[in-house]
Amino acid sequence: MNTVTEKAARSAVTTAQLPLAQEPRNPGMPLDMDWVRAVQANTSAIERRAASLPGRRSVKKEFQAAWLLKAITMIDLTTLAGDDTAGRVRRLCAKAASPVRQDILDALGMGPITTGAVCVYHDMIGIAVEALQGTGIPVAAVSTGFPAGLSPYPLRVAEIRESVKAGADEIDIVISRRHVLTGNWQALYDEMAEFRKACGDAHVKAILATGELGTLRNVARASLVCMMAGADFIKTSTGKESVNATLPVSLVMIRAIRAYHEATGYRVGYKPAGGISKAKDAVTYLTLLKDELGPRWLQPDLFRFGASSLLGDIERQLEHHVTGRYSAGYRHAMG
């Protein structure tokens, strides 16, 4: 590995592993309905900009490897299946702690890296916490009646508290889509603020389920309201909708984050989730983030991929970079 490659790769990893608490948390602000109502979205312009993204930035060879190593450190490695077992979660945690085969890391001249977090259902929090002990990898739990968010409201709040009590460091909540679809922004704000309060010291990611919000303007307004209510992250999707993370939606949410930061001075994180399974797509999302928000957001305290299969394709691409050959998928098992 040449010096340029080594510097690029090491920089990609070390800058992405700063402590989560380094950035002050978003405390929220009073609901500003004038600001919310003023938010618009030019759909055709957004779609044109998004369509241009995959071809506007091209990184190759050692620089692509560096971006992919960075992407790994920002993955919330996820299992949210009805047939999850303790063994599957332990294997996932082992993969999170050692996401790339050692021979590939050795060939790249890299030391150990980890994923950004492990994301599981409430019942699997204790197993994940035990499996990740000593690794420094946080446990994220989906909550509030995930994925539909239609369980009784007191139970949704109680579920958050129970997940925090069980050891979750981060809580991924789902908003009530009906509040967005009916324009009841006060109800959305109050719900998000209550969820944030129930999380206590655990960071809260607000899942907007953007594929069910109807318009990009609704996505922009919902993003802003959730940030006003104290969300630490805004997240596109549960991964269970028919349409999950897309580049137009990401552009809208990222620009809402930028506007909030410019107005308040607080940085809010972003998490695209669902449907991101290819290494090339990960690079596209990272370059979009860098273009719109700058390099500070290219760290795991401000950006995460919600993914399960993405890691396997990234590892496969890294092996191709090292050997010049594409390997079979089974060589990069999840555990």
- Known catalytic residues? 172, 235, 271
Q: Tokens 């959730």 correspond to what residue? A: 226
Phi, psi (degrees; rounded to nearest 5) at 152: -55, 140
Give φ, ψ of 89 to 5 degrees: -65, -40
Query: Of 242, 224, 248, which Cα lies nearest the Cα of 234?
Result: 224
How many angstroms from the chain centroid is the CA of residue 191?
21
Joined tokens for residue 29: 């602000």
CA 26, CA 222: separation in Å to the nearest integer?
Answer: 16
Give Cβ neighbours of residue 275 (< 8 Å, ≥ 6 apart): 237, 239, 244, 245, 246
| Residue 147: cis peptide before it, omega within 30 degrees of 0 | yes
